[in-house]
Chains A and B, each alone.
Chain A
Amino acid sequence: MSASAPATLDLAEVSPAFDDPTRESQAVFRKVMDAVARPGTIQDLAFAPVAPQGLDRAAGAVALTLFDFETPTWLDPALRGGAAEGWMRFHCGCPLTNDPAKAAFALITDALAAPDLAAFNQGDAKYPDRSTTLVFQLPSLEGGAQVTLIGPGIKDKASLALAGLPTGFWDQVQANHAKFQFGVDLIFVAGDRLTALPRSTRVTLRGD
């Protein structure tokens, strides 16, 4: 558990989550699966419930669907100790960790201050799937520097122009891809939209 986490959880501060947890989490899971299977496509999570302060609806929906008691979760400092942390502790029941290398999931709302992708769990030779899956909450999934995507799940090529990522981020993504089978998988959310970049996708910046 994160050292900054309060020992007690004030239930009066926790807002509701899915109205119908089974169906809604299955619907979100399907969207996430499609996003990972077809990198570069943008999925719409308009049905997701309102998430607590600091989290977009798509980020909250991904947390409710994927995080549970078996997934140590790393929250970026902007989320720690806030309404979002209490909400996730109550609804997801996920243990929190301060060590990115131990995290099954990481939820990042301030991409500029995030640790390097290599700081997270890269998986091991027997279980490369045990690496961290990072969820980046961005201001927008459009309007940033355009990158070209090639790899499994993409016919010919696809492109993304994610906004709000730090300079040098795509170098980290390329280094992450170069380590395949190791490496982290990335989910990007903004508002109620979602896209994903698995480690198998080769990313090139315009001009490379």
Chain B
Amino acid sequence: MAVETVVEGAPERRRWLSILAKAPAKDVIAAWDGLAERPAYRPLRAPEIGMVLVRGRMGGGGDAFNLGEMTVTRAAVRLESGETGIGYVAGRDRRHAEIAAAVDAMMQSADLRPAVEGAVVARLARGQDERRDTAARKAAATKVDFFTMVRTRSPG
């Protein structure tokens, strides 16, 4: 049975963890390296690579089914000021997971939050919106509208 770690401060914290998890590793690393000041932290759980089973639900009314497994890297770090952050990210980039955990910890601290909120979290969220928008446009361009001619047979 899995250990449950309940996300506190949900849904706000859930939102930024989701952004960090889904962002491409290179964007996260670039955003982190671009910070003027990075706080010191020590690992609570060194980054480790594993697999999670992704489950889905058809329509919303359907039963849950196993969609497949995906590779996930997780890490947990503690800042010197005491905040603990966790990072679960898609893919197998250890540094991505560690940075996600450090950003999560900084977002929980009133002092450190302004440094990362705009420069990392909002920046990654914008990138995600752009990618989603591009994908939606490409999909929309190939959309075919089917319509049915009005039946002409007169009611008998």
Contacts and interface: CB of A to CB of B under 8 A. Distances in A.
Interface residues on A, range: 20 to 34
A20 B6 contact: no
Chain B contact residues: helix, strand, loop or mixed: strand
A145 to B, nearest CB: 40
Given A16-B43, A21-B48, A11 B76 contact: yes
Interface in B1-48: 1-6, 42-46, 48
Nearest to B5: A9
B3 A9 contact: yes
Chain B interface residue number, banded: 10 to 19
Nearest to B77: A16
Contacts of B2: 69, 93
Contact of B3 (A12, A18, A20, A90): A90
A95 B5 CA distance: 14
B110 to A, nearest CB: 16
A8 B3 CA distance: 9
Nearest to A86: B3
A42 interface: no
Query: Which 8 residue pairs spanning A and B have beta carbons closest together?
Result: A11-B84, A8-B6, A95-B1, A93-B3, A89-B3, A16-B44, A12-B84, A9-B5
Given A7-B4, A90-B44, A95-B1, 19 more contacts: A9-B5, A9-B6, A11-B5, A11-B44, A11-B84, A11-B86, A12-B82, A12-B84, A14-B84, A15-B44, A16-B43, A17-B45, A18-B46, A19-B43, A20-B46, A21-B46, A69-B3, A90-B3, A91-B45
